[in-house]
Structure 1
Amino acid sequence: MAYQQIIAEVKEQIFYITINREHKLNALNKEVLSELADAIVFATNSEEVRGVLITGAGEKAFVAGADISEFQNYSLAEGKELARNGHQNVFDAIEDCPKPVVAAINGFALGGGLELAMACHIRLASDHAKLGLPEVTLGLIPGYGGTQRLTQLVGKGRAIEMITTAGMITAEKAHRIGLINEVVPQAELIAKAEEILNKIKTRAPLAIASAIKAVNASLKEDVNGFEVEIDEFANCFQTEDFKEGVAAFLEKRKAVFKGR
């Protein structure tokens, strides 16, 4: 698929996705969401990809929200379809991706932008970033998992406060309340994300995928996370990577994992 709204490239086993609508503060529209969905399918299925880095073009915004003009006249049914398709094809797909996905929040992460970051497994933010869910100022609520993932990350009280006041918070406060993993200077943001992903790249890919699946299961009411962990733990024993990891440990050398 030839992308028009995002830039996507694989370099040294890291899949870089840049939302490339700087003139619109990288706002999400249908085309961006479609391209993101396609890119995540590629990342999920590609043996070449060991990790994903998502960021926004420029220094002002990661993603400053959704493109409101596209859905201003939607009916109830159209609104439900918009949210459901976004959940399944993009946001849940990112969360369930077996490759670790890091959000490098390089500026405003508002509305759908913060929801995109929260779907990622790890979130880093530049020191000037601002985060928030302002949907109630439009007569809406977050529709791409924001009410659920924000509550999981920061707790019910803070989630309700952020959503109902529609206020923005600084990167420092977001870090303090557990919304992001780390705050770094803007110039160091991508390098920090790469540092984390480069470390992950040296670990066993199938074990990484199993760990992500098991952690995600802890948040799903209809799934017994402990049983998922038991199954995924057991599955690791039949991999070549497990044999290589144990052999390397006993031989006091670095393991060379192949994802098999």
Structure 2
Amino acid sequence: MSTEEAYVKKHIENKVATIEFFHPAHNSLPGNILEKLANTISEVGQDDEVLVIVLKSGGERTFCAGASFTELISIQDEEEGEKFFSGFANVINAMRKCPKFIIGRIQGKTVGGGVGLASAVDYCMATKFASVKLSELNLGIGPFVVGPAVERKLGVSGMTQIAIDANTFYSPEWAKQKGLYANVYDSTEELDEAVASFAKNLCEYNPEAVKEMKQMFWRGTEDWDELLQERAKISGRLVLSTFTKEKLERFK
């Protein structure tokens, strides 16, 4: 086990806020990191010094491994389960309501809740190593909380495909074809150059127009505060099932 500590940090330079999260277990997301992430996105969204946000993760290989297995295993009742899964709901809703454009920088594989994060940004750029997988059904739960965000980007067909085929990584080319990724690059260096250049261009836009466009893009999602909370309840119930408990023990 790595001795590195999990974090969420922000860096603001030339009107661009970079929000970075990290966890030594392949950038998996425990409740405290989800909470910090949601709060940081909301806070930066209200900062007049910021025109554009870049969401990224630390490390080189994995963008995000999804929910923290350690926390999934430790959930004892439905209330705890709902609280944990609502962490993902809060991050997605923070991105949805943020009046600034959010660029996703996806350097490597992304799984489960990580696919939800990639789907909830406004513009997503990735490397050729950034394959995607919705593994939740394999654990006896499902991508209930992230589902609406994933479906909004991939369409019902794409979402259904990766949600049902829960053991398969889908290629970055597939994700680009379905509309999740705008561009796919050969290396992290090329990705970073492209993200920096694109963020700089976005800073030239009228912030009022950006705010109006965000509302236009997310039209029809006004009920997501309630919807995603309801979905968190479903996941919170299913994570306590004998099927899921046995699966998690095996992965442990």
Q: Could you tell me how far apart the structure 1 residues matched to 2:220 and 2:137 are? A: 29
**1:91 deviation in Å?**
1.1
Which of 13, 16, 32 lines up with 1:14 in the alignment? Answer: 16
Q: Deviations for 1:48-75, whole angstroms, at most 9, x for unmatched residues?
A: 1111111111210111111121122432
Q: Which residue of 1 aligns with 2:237?
A: none
Q: Could you tell me how far apart the structure 2 residues matched to 1:204 and 1:13 are? A: 13
Q: Could you tell me how far apart the structure 1 residues matched to 2:87 and 2:150 are? A: 20
Secondary structure at 2:92's aligned position in 1?
Answer: helix
Q: 2:133 matched to 1:132?
A: yes
1:51·1:99 contact (CA, 8 Å) conserved in 2? yes
Secondary structure at 1:6's aligned position in 2?
Answer: strand
Q: Could you tell me how far apart the structure 1 residues matched to 2:29 and 2:144 are? A: 13
Aligned residues: percent identity?
23
Q: Deviations for 1:141-160, whole angstroms, at most 9, x for unmatched residues?
A: 12432x21222222222211
Secondary structure at 2:126's aligned position in 1?
Answer: strand
Please show how residues 1-260 of structure 1 align to structure 2 within 5 Å. Answer: 5-21=7-23, 23-74=24-75, 75-87=77-89, 89-145=90-146, 147-166=147-166, 167-186=168-187, 187-220=189-222
Shift of the 144–221 alpha-carbon distance from structure 1 to 2, 3 Å rule, reads closer
Q: TM-score if structure 2 supplies the norm length? A: 0.80
Give the CA RMSD over aligned residues. 1.9
Q: Deviations for 1:153-182, whole angstroms, at most 9, x for unmatched residues?
A: 222222112101112111111111212111
Q: Could you tell me how far apart the structure 2 residues matched to 1:168 and 1:78 are? A: 30
2:95·2:120 contact (CA, 8 Å) conserved in 1? yes
**Tell me, which stretches of 5 or more residues in structure 2 are unaligned?**
225-252
Shift of the 206–183 alpha-carbon distance from structure 1 to 2, 3 Å rule, reads same
Q: Could you tell me how far apart the structure 2 residues matched to 1:25 and 1:81 are? A: 22
**Tell me, which stretches of 5 or more residues in structure 1 are unaligned?**
223-260
**One-letter code aligned to 2:212:** S
2:31·2:84 contact (CA, 8 Å) conserved in 1? no
2:172·2:184 contact (CA, 8 Å) conserved in 1? yes
Matched residue count: 217
**1:134 deviation in Å?**
0.5
Where does structure 1 differ by over 6 angstroms across 4 or more consecutive aligned residues? none
**One-letter code aligned to 2:158:** R
Q: Which residue of 2 aligns with 1:236?
A: none
Q: Deviations for 1:216-242, whole angstroms, at most 9, x for unmatched residues?
A: 1145579xxxxxxxxxxxxxxxxxxxx
2:35·2:87 contact (CA, 8 Å) conserved in 1? no
Q: TM-score if structure 1 supplies the norm length? A: 0.78
Secondary structure at 1:125's aligned position in 2?
Answer: strand
1:123·1:182 contact (CA, 8 Å) conserved in 2? yes
Q: Deviations for 1:191-213, whole angstroms, at most 9, x for unmatched residues?
A: 21122221110010011011101
Higher relative contact order (CA 8 A, sep 6+): 2
Q: Looking at CA atoms only, which structure, 1 or 2, has the larger radius of gyration?
A: 1
Secondary structure at 1:149's aligned position in 2?
Answer: helix
1:91·1:144 contact (CA, 8 Å) conserved in 2? no
1:16·1:53 contact (CA, 8 Å) conserved in 2? yes
